[in-house]
Amino acid sequence: MTSKQEQAEKKVSASAGSATPKKLVPYGGYYTNKVPGHDPELTEVGPGTPTGEYMRGFWHPVCMSIELTDTPKFLTILCEELVAFRDGSGRIGVLHAHCVHRGASLEYGQIQEHGIKCCYHGMVFDVDGTCLNAPFPKGEEAEAKKYACSIQQGAYKAFERNGLVFAYMGPPDKEPPFPEWESDFTVAPGDELVPYSNFQHCNWLQVQDNAADNFHTAELHAAKNVVGGHFQGTTFDEVGSPTMEVHPDMQFVPIHGGRGLACSGARRVNNDKLFIRVQHQVLPNLSLHAYTSEDGSNKKLFSRFHIIRWTVPVDDFNSKMIGWRVMGPGIDTRGIGQKELVGYESIDFLDGQVALRRAERFGKHTINDIVDIPTDHRARSNYKMAQYAPGDYEAIISQRPIAIHALENPTKFDAGPYLFRKMLRDAIRGSNPAASAESFSEWLKELNGAPNSYCSGTVFELPIGATTEEEVAQRRFVAKGVIAILTESEQYKGNERTDFVKQKMEALEQTAKAQFKH
């Protein structure tokens, strides 16, 4: 365990112990029925809030391209009411919803060749918020032009990329580069970025916590825990990757100057192979996921991105998982990806990621349809089936609309989410200047907008240790060794980096074989 991880775990224990005095009394619900407030510093995201202002310093996906049709798309993002549209010239507009003239919503506006026209009085606004036309009576054109120059509709810069619409909602003069991780998100020839958007009926932070919580897969996604044989594709065993149901030995390491967190998990495949999966969490709300369908049957060095996901706050009580699935033979070596299940309110790697289970989502619709989203998880027609085989959606949103951190009693295996929360708090408070939005932007500029990622999956041919103590020591040695190799490889790019990492991984395997008894 790293010293930083030990420090984080001590803080976890201290914070848990200081929340409320414990009365460990049988049937003592009376002593624990007081529910304190949520943590506003990290969970609230409206304009002027600490996390809200921090998040506005980054690019975020706000919707899918298929949501932009011949009528404007109403959105709420970071507690702001917006409309998104693609005008007749193909440009993307993301404007404040309420017309600056008299407040009518532009969701009822008419999309123009250039910009959008308000339905109420006909004001036309360009994608940058400039008023292009203010209808005045004939003969008062000069005054109309003068008036148009006196108003500006709130607008945010936006663009499309691989089926997603991204917007920057911060100060225009502080716009950062869009982070092109490794310049191509490690998409191999023949692979593609497939967009998706899954609504979550809860605060953004507990969704992001789940991505850093690598331990839950062994329970929530384990076939042994499905009730009464009511399987619904929510477990890794059902997709042939039982290695993901093994309790991982985790190492959590802050990287890139505290701008991100590497979560290195060691899982024993069998007596002959060890699987090391590294998740990469990036402030404030990006997570890069290695291959989720790894069965560990073959040796594999440096497998890359499988899921790229932003957790985007809608408001303080709702959020979206929105990003890309990488699909194709380069990453999906088992060929089990299903593109027809990746899109609006659906993703293929496991069911139970979203309110609608597949039977309901696709009963009368295709992946190209913008379906209605249930308003409450208990009001769903598939509620009982979800109780039989809950997925991430049920576990995350049932923590309350905003999770109450003061009521948590974490174990050392929860160090990932707690360390990430601390890193976020340090960033928004200025305790870690390197993680400020401005420093983040400068860092990206220095790297030409294409930083390297630690996200990876590796299957080593390493026999199990002769004793339990030997096995624990070996898996921790290898998990830490992988992070050290990835850190050393930061000086390289592209194929040169890949070759360097693979050579080092081979050497690490040989060192482990020589060092530990088998």
Residue 456 has pLDDT above 60, yes or no: yes
Domain residue extents for the chain:
59-168, 192-516
pTM of the model: 0.93
What mean pLDDT do residues 160-178 have?
Answer: 98
pLDDT band at 16 (very low <50, low <70, confident <90, very high): very low
Query: In DSSP terms, which residues pair with 275 in a beta bridge?
Result: 267, 459
Place of tokens 């050497």: 507
Rg, the chain, Cα only = 24
Neighbours of 420 (CB within 10 A): 27
Banded model confidence at residue 1, pLDDT cuts 50, 70, 90: very low
Q: Residue 14 has what pLDDT? A: 45
Q: How far is CA 144 from the centre of its chain?
A: 46
CB 417 within 8 A of CB 403: no
Q: What is the CATH number of domain 59-168?
A: 2.102.10.10
Residue 23: predicted pLDDT: 74
Q: Which of 442, 464, 433, 453 is nearest to 498 (CA)?
A: 453
Is the Cβ–Cβ distance between 307 and 325 less than 8 Å? yes
> In this predicted structure, what is the pLDDT of residue 48?
98
Tens digits of per-residue pLDDT, 48-87? 999 999 999 999 999 999 999 999 999 999 999 999 999 9
Q: Are 500 and 302 in contact (CB under 8 A)?
A: no
User: Could you report the per-residue pLDDT of 379-430, keeping only the tens digit for each?
Assistant: 899 999 999 999 999 999 999 999 999 999 999 889 999 999 999 999 999 9
| Residue-level pLDDT at 7 | 54
Cα dist. 390→76, 251, 336 in Å? Answer: 28, 27, 22
Helices first, then strands: H and E counts in the chain = 13, 19
Where b means 16+ CB within 10 Å and e means fewer, 283-299 reads bbbbbbbbbbbbbbeee
Q: What are phi and psi of 452, to 5 degrees?
A: -80, 155
Beta-carbon count within 10 A of 162 CB: 14
What confidence score (pLDDT) does residue 216 get?
94
Band (149; pLDDT cuts 50, 70, 90): very high
